[in-house]
Amino acid sequence: MLGLLAAIAALILAVILSILFGSRQLSAEELVHALTAATGTSADQVVLDLRVPRTLAGIVVGAGLGVSGAVVQALTRNPIGDPGILGVNAGAGLFVALGVALFGASVPAEYLYFAFAGALVATVLVYLIGSAGRSGADPVRLTLAGVALAAVCTGITTGMTLLDPLTFNKLRGWSAGSFVERGYDVVLPVLPFAVLGVALALASARSLNTMGLGDELAFSLGTHLIRTRVVSVISITLLAGSATAIAGPIGFVGLMVPHIARWIVGPDQRWIIPYSVVLAPTVLLVSDVIGRLILWPSEVPVGIVTAFVGAPVLIYLVRRAKSSTL
């Protein structure tokens, strides 16, 4: 409990940093002014129109990635599970490419719907393929199905973008994963789905715990295997779909944060999920701030920074671990 409070404090700090720093330097007074008694100054505009929505995007995306990562790892019993493993990113990318090529979409607010649809279709397909068996979706088959579908989607997307420079140009901007131009019009439509996703994940937490012990043991402990799997996949779809729809593909956060949470609180999904809700946005916002400052005044998209932040942590963790489990 204490740890969770500390994590929330860290998140609040990250939020403050995110609102404070950027290509334009703000002072604390300007910040307070904007948040409490805004009068339309340019500083106010920067805070209210750019920084706050962007920070909100960071929180929603972070929560989406972190929790979906935790659920994917529990569901596929694979410690290197990542929301992308179920083909979410690839499906979203394909549909965004289609949106650009066929419907002329060109801003994140328009990509949003395509990305979400793509994520949904991909996850449903992966689930259907991976569960064409006896007890619903077997972890290995799910993973294989995800890899296969991601490959097909990526291939078609690459083919499309290489044949049409305009689509290529738009898509390379989206593929880096970023919070730029993500205003309320991008975040708010998706927010209810994300919240629902977190709720479903929390509701399945207990069942996910027992499923980690193996199907047979879970079954004998009264867990409803198929229902848990279906609910988990819906949760992953909503969460990862929301995250990718808002910001484009961002890797690593979904992989890393549940492990950090597990390191702090142990293998209990009922705690890992809340911690992920708080920790992942913190990591993401900090990465975003770094991205804004490191090549100031130009920006490095957050999806690129997370790889450089997350990978060393991951490598360090795996070198430390004595046994072969993470």
Partner 1 sequence: MSAPAGRIDFGARVIVVRRGPVALRFRMRTALVCLALGAATLAVSLVALCLGDLPLSVPEVISVFLGRQSGIVETVVLDWRLPRVLGAAVFGAALGVSGAIFQSMTRNPLASPDIIGLTAGSYAGALIVIIVLGGGTLPITIGALLGGLVAAALVYLLAYRQGVQGFRLIIVGIGISAMLGALSTYLVLRARLEVAMTAAIWGAGSLNPVGWPQLLPPLVVIVLVFVALTVLVTPLRQLELGDDAASSLGTRLEPARLGLVVCAVALTAVVTAAAGPIAFVALAAPQIARRLTRSAGVALAPSGFLGAFVLAGSDIVAQHALAMPLPVGVVTVVIGGGYLIWLLIHEARRRL
Residues that bind partner 1 (CB under 8 A): 80, 129-130, 132-134, 140-141, 143-145, 147-152, 154-156, 158-159, 161-163, 165, 168-169, 172-173, 175-176, 251-252, 255, 300-301, 303-308, 310-312, 314-315, 318-319, 324-326
Give the nearest distance from C-beta 142 to partner 1 in angstroms. Answer: 10
Contact 211, 223 (CB under 8 A): yes
Give the nearest distance from C-beta 168 to partner 1 in angstroms. Answer: 6
Q: Which pair of structure tokens corresponds to residue 94? A: 């394909």
Pick 155 or 267: Cβ nearer partner 1: 155
Pick 201 or 229: Cβ nearer partner 1: 229
Q: Say which residues have a Cβ less than 8 Å from residue 167's Cβ, sequence separation at least 6.
A: 97, 100, 101, 160, 161
Pick 16 or 154: Cβ nearer partner 1: 154
Pick 148 or 195: Cβ nearer partner 1: 148
Give the nearest distance from C-beta 89 to partner 1 in angstroms. Answer: 12
Give the nearest distance from C-beta 261 to partner 1 in angstroms. Answer: 17
- Angstrom CA distances, 204 to 217, 244, 300, stand at 17, 22, 36
Helix (H) and strand (E) counts in the chain: 15, 0
Q: How does DSSP assign 288-324, residue by residue? A: HHHHHHTTTTS---HHHHHHHHHHHHHHHHHHH-SSS
Give the nearest distance from C-beta 111 to partner 1 in angstroms. Answer: 16
Q: Say which residues have a Cβ less than 8 Å from residue 93's Cβ, sequence separation at least 6.
A: 115, 118, 153, 154, 157, 171, 174, 175, 249
Pick 47 or 92: Cβ nearer partner 1: 92
